[in-house]
Amino acid sequence: MRVLGIDPGLRSLGWGVIEAEGNRIRHIANGLCQTSSAGGAALADRLLSLHEQLTEVFRRFLPQEAAVEQTFVNKDGVATLKLGQARAIALLVPAQFGLPIGEYAPNKVKKTVVGVGHADKRQVEHMVLMQLPGAKLAGPDAADALAIAICHARYAGASALRIKA
């Protein structure tokens, strides 16, 4: 099973592709879909850019399933709403390809990959690299996306919240 993990973000949307067969996982690719708010770029243009970039990732790597991190709500309501819009793109693109989508809480991803639900980004990166030897990370958001893909590979078909596109 080829899984694409997605870490939603408006400035930097991380993605990571793994192949899973039983308990074995293998790194395929990872990267970032980036937008800029420089020059007053409109939100709609930034969302369109994320959509186009993520669609290209799907076309290039042909995943069979997708996994997206659930949004956490923080004190900044505007930032949470913008993150929710980027997350909508992360759900829309796999749905357009007809893929099943798993959604995972950040703490579940961290507990699955690191062993503790409140691990920091460095711990997540370290454990992703331990589980995917030879992977070169495009950045912390790509590491998070690979962690989401690993989590999905561990829970796919079991207790994961799954949406059939």
Annotated binding residues for Mg(2+): 7, 69, 141
Catalytic: 120? no
Catalytic residue among 65, 69, 103, 144: 69
Q: How many Å apart are CA 74 and CA 94, to the nearest integer?
A: 26
Kindly state the tokens that stand for 112.
Answer: 């699955």
Binding-site annotation, residues: 7, 69, 141
Kindly state the tokens that stand for 62.
Answer: 């042909």
Catalytic residue among 7, 65, 103, 144: 7
Catalytic: 76? no
Catalytic residue among 103, 125, 141, 144: 141
Contact status, residue 47 vs residue 9, Cβ threshold 8 Å: no
Of the candidates 30, 21, 14, the one whose C-alpha atom is nearest the C-alpha of residue 134 is 30
Catalytic: 141? yes
B/e letters for 39-51, b = 16+ CB within 10 Å, e = fewer, are eeeeeeebbebbb
Which residues are catalytically annotated? Answer: 7, 69, 141
